[in-house]
Structure 1
């Protein structure tokens, strides 16, 4: 009999998972998300374009591509059977601790305490804040630290590292780890979190759990407990659980886990002070989790229990030397984790012994190694949830989300509404709010430049110093600062959309078309932002789940025509295509999109043939965003952009000033025609002759345009003096080719600075060369086609 797969599920059908296919990290990710044999899963709907698929699993919404769903074998759920994960105890009167209150069943003497002395007063206590995505972690971090935080990068990866002091406790430092579902090495974020805890050895872990989806969230909690580090569990969104008729017996939960559990509402700042008090206590007194063995006390996990303890005895000395918790090491070896095996330094004989022990367990247990570990964890969670949780009725948030999704992810409404929402964001950013703020800032910068110019003139400053300050340093200021309001406004709206949960739906809707280019649906937002400004587009790509997707998406964003290039299009369209100016401008956007898609397709089919990461993603409920979190995020992005972009822009501005201001004999020039830049342009200009614009003045404008694209039009206006003179040296076909070249050649220095920030100097330089080569090739092709059609 041919086994049925999850991809063949009917709408609304609930099935039992029998087998989980796939290999390596993908299969492990399936298991970590709760896709394990025996679990019940309900098919909700297809994305508007027929792929991916949305399911309900263990109380949350999961998306899988059809191709991945085909790897999961299913069978009908026997009539009348209620899966353990969906059952709940009958409602009962439970003394429910208020927000911030402890259950009290796990006293200080009952928790595992380190034999060493407490950490002395005054010595910094370090904490790792860990939790699933969309569990309120950022909100809690902001409540803990307020403005006492700084942003950097984890070494070696483009994942934000936020840390800060707990308010009122200057001898503390909290690091906000990336939102993750597991400590398995599936994504850079999971590796970052795992390495930080294992290598940095924080004084304690604050694990935040979404109480409305406790079963899903406790999976990470169990792995964190295996790290044998003092920790406290923050049970977030308890107000929602209570508001929907549910209860959680914190006493029972504490007793089962052996760690302090504190109910909180991070959004309302309720219970946070009590959470801090308990976190400081367990860290200072080195109180480690009281439980790390999660096997079923019956025979259900007997084979796995024996397997784990046999491996623990085998590798105990290796784990101690490598400073890796022995229970964590044994569990990861059973899963087949190569990072752990390498860290322990096991010899071949020991590795062979581990494999024999695991093979024996698989035969006895009837499950493969990774599935056995996942089943053990979820079985433990089901027992804990059954004993401690009275599940609420369907939450108002879930009911509201389902109604909203009928429109925002509906087959016929998803794309039109997406266009309307993103259009509104663009209009507000580039034509209303952002434009207004940009004009205010630009006017202020212009006043500063004028004031400095007049002051230096009145003071009789040296001409070189005068030019360096006004045309060099202040030119950098006038280039980068006016962009900031656009970046701030764009990130403000994107933060709102992200916090509400809509961005996850955008990825769900757009995944299928982008996958043909080797990208995932998450890449659509950075690409669309490129039409406004390449800088925030590049910066937003850091949220993508894989390094490969980040690189390819960032390489494509400059092909999307940013708003500043409109000055170039408008300049040439008004002169050469007065009756068809709109058509000429629209054609630039179309060419940019087509060239970008073609470049992505070619790269995907030749250089980088890998596929986008599997679309295994949770769709969170829609929620009201936290104003404090949004504003803090906007502040962080703005500060990060200004501090990092200014360095590259300032150097570039000074270099361009020097080339424009001095002759080859290093004499200060009055006419740009005598400058080093003009000499370089005269030398380079013949390269552009095949494209139809070989005049040195066009080369000069293009070099100057590296600073900012709007400089191209202003430079040409100065060098030519009139439209008639431009028309005297340029044909309409050549003008169109020049527009195409400006569309596609290197992005501005601020964008390159952003690329360098995200991917490094080699990638930034490579993108400059790549863009220029593509621009030249496409402009030449347009010229040849035009000549062949007799348009020259």
Structure 2
């Protein structure tokens, strides 16, 4: 029988770092039953029968956020054999609030005081023996980042789990509160186990409306609630909260020795004075993201991708595969399907994996060192002015890896209007799947100009901000943004293991998609491209030896061309009314990587000419740079891939809201791309036409929506003035 150990702690306490260190690669990631909060579990290194469950980061066991509900349901329903409670030693007073609740559950607890290395630098000292005596649970010191003490903490948890004895929590509230709690505990005899009585009694007094359901029996504690409220002249939830903090303060006074710092600032505080400065924060953020995308796309990542496309696929894999299948006498159509369809199409996508890995590497460093938490704080100040909360930036940040978990992360936003708006706008940020499109356009049309990739990131940010302004001025989304409170963790050096693991997890999910969805899509595209009508008969087309105009004429007979020509006119005002561009954009709705895979088959840029020069010129000659940037922006902002659409549908939980979100994304993408192409063409001497007139009208409409006053604020002013006159 396996031993179950749960990891519980506050956000940013080092819980995930500890989980990774304890389990290594023995991890299983999924979703909790019925919800989209990520579920992580793994086997403890060296113990095949010990399962570690990584609970969501929470501040309490009150059922307010989805994470708190998930964690509490697991601890009450599943009853793990032991809990490792990770506590941030640099902020122990705030962390102990959750600890006192965990110890009331009657489950063996090992308190792991984390970040002791950072604490030592500050001069503060935690007296572990006194803390153990006061709390009545085992207390150990660890550094999850450096791996010190974590093995001892895990082994102690396993030992306690095997003993099956938790002991009663030592901590007590004031005499008045304890007497009422004891009365409620008496009513719970025979309803819940003795070791859970205290937890359920306190939750009943806190008027926790979900606790009666979890007990599966109603217990009337109205008289005890009244007694407690009369004694303290306050509501019971506030009384219990205050009692906890009074008790925690008494512990801190005896168990923690603070260093005499005077006015001396910590290193983190000194850095924050610069990176969170009111005037410098945004420029610093812009410079950092510009540098990240520049290195990932135009320099280091570009060099690696060029080698992958030119040498690995162009000179080695594709010619070798062609020779192999021809050598074994494989049918021409099957050789074409495998080499020109699957290998060239999927290879065109996989060729951009190096750039993605470099980008994910830098993003992992920024997240691990603590900077991205500052970005959420910085963006809250900006987002709040435009009707969004800083909480909306968290899903957007996650969305840089993949839009699906980014959309799912919106569940942490309590305000329904803000949550819906975040779901609608999260996928505007370039995710990993859009990176190959950015890299392709930058390389083929702009000669890897340094500004293209960073501009794509900031176009996404601008779309989110502008959408927030405009949507907040509609009745559907009107209202104050949700409050945003978050802890800024101390800066620390990222470990190579955590950075590389984060980079690989994101990159591997992309590679897996290339091996499944992208492969199937390229097969479909290959069939539609290679079958069509010649001389009134339907069959496989022959492109052997054709080039230039002859190839164009032959491809125009295929099924894909017929389909593309039916919809190409829609995109003509955007500058890319060619059927090939239209088809590539539509296949991108299945998966954004398909855009590059489709180009790989239509233009052959995954293949290499005899002189070794990559045939990107064919793509470049098919549209102007302005049209190419219009195409890029459209694919960045329009509806995401099918997987992300499915996540939007689940999170909206309403078909009308789902179609509204998809429609808004597509319309916004179309209008912005139209303006880019029309104004860009006008600026480069293209002349003034009906398209420019339409673009001007669109801009006027945008400006009106952006700068018109909120009707709600006008109504409030009128009400105030009316009241004043009445007096």
**Same fold judged by TM-score > 0.5?**
yes
Partner of 1:520: 389
Cα distance in 2, alignment partners of residues 722 and 134 from structure 1: 49
Query: How far apart in 2 are the matches of 1:421 and 1:236?
Result: 29
User: Structure 2 vs 1, CA of residues 237 and 669 (structure 1 numbering), >3 Å: closer, same or farther?
Assistant: same
Determine whether 1:193 maps to 2:76. no
**Separation in 1, partners of 2:263, 2:346:** 49
The structural deviation recorded for 1:284 is 0.8
Distance in 2 between the 1:488 and 1:397 partners?
40
Deviations 1:147-190 (A, max 9, x none): 33233333344433332222221111111222222122333322
Q: Say whether residues 1:546 and 2:412 are aligned partners.
A: yes
Name the counterpart of 1:419. 286
Distance 1:468-1:611 versus aligned 2 partners, 3 A rule = farther
1:511 aligns with 2:380: yes
CA deviation profile, 1:480-533 (whole Å, cap 9, x unmatched)? 423433333223222222222222221222212212444333545775898xxx
Alpha-carbon spacing, 1:569–1:169, altered in 2? closer, same or farther (3 Å): closer
Q: Distance in 2 between matches of 1:695 and 1:644?
A: 28
Kindly report which structure 2 residues correspond to 1:194-343, keeping only aligned pairs within 5 A, or say none: 194-291=72-169, 294-296=172-174, 299=175, 302=176, 304-319=177-192, 325-343=196-214
User: Are 1:473 and 2:473 matched, yes or no?
Assistant: no
Distance in 2 (CA, whole Å) between partners of 1:625 and 1:388 is: 30
Note the aligned Cα RMSD (angstroms). 4.3
Distance 2:190 2:36 in 1: 35
1:659 alignment partner in structure 2: 528
* Alignment correspondent of 1:643: 512
1:436 aligns with 2:325: no
Distance apart, 1:129 and its partner CA: 1.0
Q: Unpaired segments of 5 or more residues in structure 1?
A: 1-122, 575-580
Gaps of 5+ in 2: 543-553, 606-615, 680-687, 696-727
Moved more, 751-760 or 411-420: 751-760
State yes or no: 1:369 paired with 2:236.
yes
Shift of 1:373: 1.1
Of 34, 41, 44, the residue aligned with 1:163 is: 41
Change in 2 beyond 3 A, CA 1:755/1:384: same
CA contact (8 A) 2:313 2:347 kept: yes
Q: How far apart, CA to CA, are the structure 2 residues paired with 1:156 and 1:371?
A: 31
Q: Secondary structure at the match of 1:682?
A: helix
CA distance, structure 1, for counterparts of residue 450 and residue 13 of structure 2: 47
Per-residue CA deviations over 1:634-686 (Å, capped at 9, x if unaligned) read: 23333334335643323322222222222378622233322221222233345
Listed one character per residue, the Cα deviations across residues 721-767 of structure 1 (whole Å, up to 9, x for unaligned) are 9999989xx9x9xx967853552247799x62662685568989956
Q: With the length of structure 1 as denominator, give the TM-score of the two structures.
A: 0.71
Moved more, 139-148 or 126-135: 139-148
Instruction: Name 1:100's counterpart in structure 2.
Output: none
Matched, 1:774 2:668: yes
Rounded to whole Å, the distance in 2 between the matches of 1:270 and 1:726 is: 59
Cα separation, partners in 2 of 1:610 and 1:206, compared to 1, 3 Å:
farther
More divergent stretch after superposition (602-611 vs 485-494): 602-611
Tell me, yes or no, if the aligned pair for 1:204 and 1:230 is still in contact at 8 Å: yes
8 Å CA contact 1:741–1:779 kept in 2: the answer is yes
Equivalent of 1:456 in 325, 338, 360 = 325
Look up the SS of the partner of 1:336 in the other structure: coil
Show the counterpart of 2:609: none
CA distance in 1, matches of 2:379, 2:504: 29
Please say if residues 397 and 623 of structure 1, whose CA atoms lie closer than 8 Å, have aligned partners that are also in contact.
no
- Distance in structure 2 (CA, Å) of the matches to 1:744 and 1:395: 55
**Cα distance change of structure 1 residues 378 and 424 upon mapping to structure 2, 3 Å threshold:** same
Aligned to 2:540: 668
**Does residue 1:678 correspond to 2:561, yes or no?**
yes
User: Offset of 1:477 from its aligned partner?
Assistant: 2.9
Partner secondary structure for residue 41 of structure 2: strand
Are positions 1:752 and 2:641 aligned together?
A: yes
- Which of the residues 19, 25, 34 maps onto 1:141? 19
Go from structure 1 to structure 2 and tell me whether the alpha carbon gap of 1:344 and 1:552 turns closer, same or farther (over 3 Å shift): same
Q: Which residue of 1 aligns with 2:259?
A: 392
Aligned length: 644
Q: Secondary structure at the match of 2:140?
A: strand
Change in Cα spacing, 1:659 to 1:269, as seen in structure 2 (3 Å) is same
> Structure 1's 633 and 690: CA in aligned 2 closer, same or farther, altered over 3 A?
closer
The whole-number CA distance in structure 2 between the counterparts of 1:275 and 1:139 is: 14
Question: What CA distance in whole angstroms lies between the structure 2 residues aligned with 1:694 and 1:246?
Answer: 67
| Deviations, residues 109-131 of structure 1 (Å, cap 9, x unaligned) | xxxxxxxxxxxxxx211111111
Q: In the aligned structure 2, how far is the partner of 1:204 from the partner of 1:274?
A: 14
Alpha carbons of structure 1 residues 315 and 584: separation in structure 2 relative to 1, 3 Å: closer
**2:715 match:** none
CA distance in structure 2 between the partners assigned to 1:611 and 1:515 by the alignment = 9
Q: 1:522 to 1:424 in 2, by over 3 A?
A: farther
- Mean Cα displacement is larger for which, 608-617 or 254-263? 608-617
User: For residue 630 of structure 1, what is the aligned residue in structure 2?
Assistant: 499
Per the TM alignment, residue 207 of structure 1 is displaced from its structure 2 partner at its CA by 0.9
TM-score (norm 2): 0.76
> 1:482–1:158: structure 2 CA closer, same or farther, 3 Å change rule?
farther
Question: Is the alpha carbon distance of 1:385 and 1:771 closer, same or farther for their aligned partners in structure 2, counting shifts above 3 Å?
Answer: closer
Q: Any residues of structure 2 matched to 1:596-607 within 5 Å, and which?
A: 596-604=464-472, 605-607=474-476
Greater shift, 628-637 or 597-606, is seen at 597-606
Match of 2:548 in 1: none
Quote the residue 1:740 is aligned against: 630
Match of residue 617 from structure 1:
486
Give SS of 2:483's match. coil
Matched-pair contact (CA < 8 Å) for 1:568–1:713? no
Secondary structure in 2 matching 1:457: helix
User: Taking CA–CA contacts closer than 8 Å with sequence separation of 6 or more, which of the two structures ends up with the larger relative contact order?
Assistant: 1
